[in-house]
Structure 1
Amino acid sequence: MPNQRSVYYLSDRTGITAETLGHSLLTQFDGFEWRKVSIPFIENEEQAREVAEQINQTAERDGKRPLVFSTIITSEIRRHIEQANCVIYDFFETFIGSMEQELGQPSAHAVGRSHSVHNTSSYFNRISAINYSLSNDDGMNLRNFDKADVILVGVSRSGKTPTCLYMALQYGISAANYPLTEEDMETHDLPKALLPYRDKLFGLTLSAEQLTQIRQERRPNSRYASLEQCELELKWQSELYQRYRLPFIDTTNISIEEISTTILKQKKLKRRLYGE
């Protein structure tokens, strides 16, 4: 039976930073079942006291101190959390002091800068990329493919849409996608619509077992979801990737974050967020 521990992600804004960094650290420890609680927008001392009380109740229930990952800037709010029965991993407190000393100036201690829209260029890059990916999903607007940074290809339900949206949201990348269908298989060739954009193509693949499991959720007990059909499509897809020397990645056992980062690296795409 796994060892159960409670984890809190606390922030005075969205909590995305605390969750992302905290999750990265927790993945290094096997054999635990994490009970995760995310509490964003802790903006005053009254809210902080309520959160501290909730943490204390959790500690009493579990018989163990909860782990708390925090990106709270305001010291008055942070003080109440520090008094709770928990072990705190405060990302800003850990690094800000050392950076102030090295850079020779105090930090702004401004709330929400990491996810604010003070960089309007970065913000609108993100919105534009998301709109592009939504408008160019499943090959809907082939005429817009010339504006794509990358075009993901793969058989149905191979993860193209979520990967495109993740790259748009996190990196400001304009990603389109095109589904490889049974009709395409009959031609034994790359779809003609994709030929002008070969340098932008990137393939996704996965195991036949995982593909059939995903398809079963959409169309249970159908030919479309059968293991035989999935194996047939993936075999044809693999041959296509090799024939046209298309870069591709097997997504069977890796996260969407790893998939997206691999695509950016292999296609030499530059992130358009955070002032880059």
Structure 2
Amino acid sequence: MFCIFHVSDGTGITAETLGRALTSQYPGIEARRVTLPFVRDAATARATVARIQREAADSGCHPVILATLLDEDIRAVFREAGLPLLDFFEHFAGPARELFGEGAAAEVGRSHGVSDAASYDRRIRAVDYALGHDDGVSTQSYADADVILAGVSRAGKTPTSLYLALQHGLRAANYPFTDDDLESDRLPAVLWDNRDRVFGLTIEARRLAAIREERRPGSRYASVGQCRQEVRQVESLFRRERIPCVDVTPMSVEEIAASIRAHLQRG
């Protein structure tokens, strides 16, 4: 068993994301993961080394460090302790310098800090928008949306809206089709007026039923028959109104968001 330590001089988000992407290609390994952020000086690095050695000894696992550390002196602390270290910045800094023709800023926290204040503010405003326009609660400002996610209840609209806002600064509203909407067999007026912003999410009926069962066990709402009927009606509506959509059944939130962004970029 491995102990994978995602070590960073910043938040650890990049180290963990890249580390998980790398290790996902080795499905046979069994690993315990720990994220250790804000390792910005030699003293903290030495304390981190001691923690890694202690946790590896206590658990009997093999330690592996997947890191994003800008300072070579800090990386050296881990190597001098004999710990296996793969640092993503170290491996790509040289080729990137040759490609871009200049050295890196070597400034800690640029990816997930507030060094780009405009981008940070845009993401915060987008989160506020997504929360204020969740689940069809408010439809007054749909004209300000970058995208309006539409679909049956529990198809993944809310987490996708928040992900688009927090990660990409997109103003994402979401609208759940009600029984009345489905019986009318046409787009609700508020969506029709903003149909160029509407993007549909659909889902396999049995998967939807399993999700709903966790929320309302044994209810008609969670029955496979009810889910199948709603999904069939919504998919028919999307086809008839030529609303772009994606089947989210096999997809993660990240993959759903990537599909939506690709659609928006195509215009």
Query: Which TM-score tier does this pair reach, normalised by the shorter chain?
Result: over 0.9
User: Could you state the TM-score of these two structures normalised by the residue count of structure 2?
Assistant: 0.92
Question: Taking every aligned residue pair, what percent have the same amino acid on both sides?
Answer: 44
1:81–1:189 distance in 2 versus 1, CA, 3 Å: same
2:107 to 107, 110, 119: 110
Structure 1 alignment gaps of length 5 or more: 271-276
Which 10-residue stretch deviates more, 106-115 or 58-67?
A: 58-67
Counterpart CA distance in 1 for 2:139 and 2:172 is 12
Deviations 1:216-250 (A, max 9, x none): 12111111111111111111111111111111111
**CA contact 1:12–1:43 (8 Å) conserved in 2:** yes
In the TM superposition, what are the counterparts of 1:7-86 in structure 2 within 5 Å?
A: 7-60=4-57, 65-86=62-83
Counterpart CA distance in 2 for 1:169 and 1:260 is 11
Counterpart CA distance in 2 for 1:96 and 1:193 is 50
Q: How many residues align?
A: 267
In the TM superposition, what are the counterparts of 1:184-199 in structure 2 within 5 Å?
A: 184-199=181-196
User: What amino acid sits opposite 1:147 in the alignment?
Assistant: D
1:212–1:91 distance in 2 versus 1, CA, 3 Å: same
User: Could you state the TM-score of these two structures normalised by the residue count of structure 1?
Assistant: 0.90
Counterpart CA distance in 2 for 1:101 and 1:267 is 33
Q: Is 1:151 paired with 2:148?
A: yes
Quote the offset at 1:85 in angstroms. 4.4
CA RMSD of the aligned region, Å? 1.9
Counterpart CA distance in 2 for 1:255 and 1:46 is 39
Q: Which residue of 2 aligns with 1:203?
A: 200
Counterpart CA distance in 2 for 1:189 and 1:104 is 56
Q: Which residue of 2 aligns with 1:274?
A: none
1:263–1:106 distance in 2 versus 1, CA, 3 Å: closer
1:233 to 230, 233, 239: 230
Quote the offset at 1:102 in angstroms. 5.0
User: What amino acid sits opposite 1:16 in the alignment?
Assistant: I
Which 10-residue stretch deviates more, 89-98 or 44-53?
A: 44-53
Quote the offset at 1:27 in angstroms. 1.5
1:103–1:225 distance in 2 versus 1, CA, 3 Å: closer
1:133 to 127, 130, 133: 130
Deviations 1:110-132 (A, max 9, x none): 21122222222111111111111
Structure 2 alignment gaps of length 5 or more: none
User: What amino acid sits opposite 1:13 in the alignment?
Assistant: G
User: What amino acid sits opposite 1:140 in the alignment?
Assistant: V
1:138–1:104 distance in 2 versus 1, CA, 3 Å: closer
Quote the offset at 1:263 in angstroms. 0.6
User: What amino acid sits opposite 1:210 in the alignment?
Assistant: R
Which 10-residue stretch deviates more, 170-179 or 76-85?
A: 76-85
Quote the offset at 1:156 in angstroms. 0.5
Counterpart CA distance in 2 for 1:31 and 1:103 is 37
User: What amino acid sits opposite 1:232 in the alignment?
Assistant: Q
User: What amino acid sits opposite 2:199 in the alignment?
Assistant: F
Q: Which residue of 1 aligns with 2:252?
A: 255
Counterpart CA distance in 2 for 1:147 and 1:103 is 37
**CA contact 1:11–1:41 (8 Å) conserved in 2:** yes
Q: Is 1:88 paired with 2:89?
A: no
Q: Which residue of 2 aligns with 1:217?
A: 214
Q: Is 1:183 paired with 2:180?
A: yes
User: What amino acid sits opposite 2:44 in the alignment?
Assistant: Q
Counterpart CA distance in 2 for 1:33 and 1:227 is 36
Counterpart CA distance in 2 for 1:222 and 1:6 is 43
SS in 1 for 2:34: strand
